[in-house]
Amino acid sequence: MIRQLFQYKGGVKLPEHKQQSTRLPIQKAALPQRLTLPLQQHIGTPSTPIVEVGDSVLKGQMIAKAASLISAPVHAPTSGRVIEIGEYAIPHPSGLKAPCIVIETDGNDAWCDHRKPVGDCHDYSPDQIRDYIRNAGVVGLGGAGFPSFLKLTLGNDRVVETLILNGAECEPYITCDDILMRERPLEIIKGLMIMKHALVAKNCVIGIEDNKPEAAAALRGAIKELAVEVEVIEVPTRYPTGGEKQLIKILTGKEIPPKALPIEKRVVVHNVGTAAAVYRAICLGEPLISRITTVTGALKKPANYEIPFGISAAELLAQAGVEESSVERIIHGGPMMGFSLNSVEIPLIKTSNCLLVTDKKTVPLLDKQQAHACIRCGSCADVCPINLLPQQLYWHSRAKDFDKVQDYNLFDCIECGCCDYVCPSQIPLVQYFRFAKTSIWQAEQEKKQAELAKERHQFRQLRIEREKAEKKARHKAKAAKVAANNSENSDKKQAIEDAMARVKAKKQQAAEASPEKPESGGNT
């Protein structure tokens, strides 16, 4: 039976540039002398360190625990010693620093003894499987790093009809998912079956772009070998088909409304890399401590490298044969949604899927020369896969009219860069949208801080008034007590005086009542 495919609005056809990094099998990156591990490698709250400077750690040992529900623990990618816990630059467009744990590796790569592989996942409840996945620090490896156990958790009265595994990998240059599907298809399918058990899903579908025939064939071979029911669907190659909502639309025809979650339409989407990580966590007892990262562009040895988290971009690029003299820019992520690195000393983390090196001969897809005035051609709206109006968003973002820009659903924008790519005026639209989002977030944060300060001030005023009232009440009570004591003393004094008066009166009465003595006389 041939599944009917649907089409989402917008999108663009891009040059792929993928063959360059798929000529070699997966390369294992050499272990560096030190690893810098940010406490936030995921969406949500940063994890909390549970080690101290000077502690020895083993490979796979938890070194930072999840700090809240939307958080994920961090594990040591190898054995060594904690030499610092401090602020370091992290892979982020802002270039700001964040708390990190620095490990000096010892070269032994010795595993800890906490690994507890699960035999048959069906011997465990979905809740137990989710706990294993959470404790293993597994996050989504295809996007922003959302903790995976949350997307494997059902809400009340919710049913998953379709579990989709995303193997589209639509962005140019990036091939880490492609090479993973080619070389480790059994891990992916076994991980998918574990996810199916956790979600009690009815059907499993793998969506993969039709420019990856080797990967599709490898997955089908693994499905046949394991004798499981999984459908591999090849979809047209178009950007951004790898977007969650876009892939759902293509495979199921279901539209996910703004601010809604796929689970509300009985669909859940995970990345193929996440499925492999789930397999390793459950079946091998290995936490998420490494991933496949594409290193491509102006290099001597472009390939996909299995990297330990915390390795610096400089270390990895050196292993890939970078020529620093010719490097113009290094992009973390792909050319459409990635960002330029301010320093090559930043560590690579769970969401680091690609390092793209450009030289003067290699011009990234979104490089802008000089922006011109908008000609109102409407091309940006035609290609927007979210059905937004980028032209209006641009005008209001540029004018810093942040109230108006939200009326055009700014936060529905996935920053895919399609509008940027087709703009004939070379306007960096996505940069304006990011600026507007950041400004709104900052204003909201400042508003929250102001409200918090106001609450604190009001609480302080209430406390002061309460303390004044309590002090006044204490003074009043003390005065009343003193008055009561004075009154009691006065009463006692009066009683004594009355008693003394009565005694005196009795003596006087007694004296008056006694007969007079005769006078003594002489001889008669």
Contact indicator for 435, 399 with CB cutoff of 8 Å: no
Please, which residues bridge with residue 9 across strands? none
Q: Which of 274, 237, 236 is nearest to 353 (CA)?
A: 274
Beta strand pairing status for 329-332 and 339-340? Answer: antiparallel
Angstrom distance (rounded) from CA 524 to CA 517: 20
H and E: helices and strands count for the chain = 13, 17
What is the 3 state secondary structure string of 64-104? EECCCCCCCCEECCCCEEEEEEEEEECCCCCCCEEEEEEEE
Max alpha carbon distance in the chain (Å)? 168
Q: Which of 440, 354, 455 is nearest to 393 (CA)?
A: 440
Contact indicator for 208, 234 with CB cutoff of 8 Å: yes
Residue 224 half-sphere exposure toward CB, CA atoms < 13 A: 6
pLDDT, tens digit, for every residue of 215-242? Answer: 999 999 999 999 999 999 999 999 999 9
| H or E, element range at 355 | strand 354-358
Identify the three-state secondary structure at position 124.
coil
pLDDT, tens digit, for every residue of 46-88? Answer: 999 999 999 999 999 999 999 999 999 999 999 999 999 999 9
Beta strand pairing status for 303-308 and 290-297? Answer: antiparallel
Pseudo-torsion of CA 300, 305, 311, 317, nearest 10°? 10
Non-local (6+) Cβ contacts of 81 within 8 A are 54, 55, 56, 57, 103, 104, 106
Q: Which of 263, 216, 207 is nearest to 236 (CA)?
A: 207
Which ranges of 89-175 would DSSP assign to H, the alpha helix?
Answer: 126-135, 148-151
pLDDT in tens, the chain (524 residues): 567 899 999 999 999 999 999 999 999 999 999 999 999 999 889 999 999 999 999 999 999 999 999 999 999 999 999 999 999 999 988 778 999 999 999 999 999 987 888 878 888 999 999 999 999 999 999 878 999 999 998 766 678 999 999 999 999 999 999 999 999 999 999 999 999 999 999 999 999 999 999 999 999 999 999 999 999 999 999 999 999 999 999 999 999 988 888 999 999 999 999 999 999 999 999 999 999 999 999 899 999 999 999 999 999 999 999 887 778 889 999 999 998 898 899 999 999 999 999 987 765 666 667 889 999 999 999 999 999 999 999 999 999 999 999 999 999 999 999 999 999 999 999 989 989 998 998 888 888 888 889 989 999 999 999 999 988 888 888 888 888 877 777 777 777 887 888 888 888 888 877 665 555 444 44
Joined together, the tokens standing for residue 517 give: 């003595």
Angle between helices 126-135 and 185-199 (to 10 degrees): 130
Contact indicator for 47, 67 with CB cutoff of 8 Å: yes
Angstrom distance (rounded) from CA 141 to CA 353: 8
Joined together, the tokens standing for residue 354 give: 């690609």
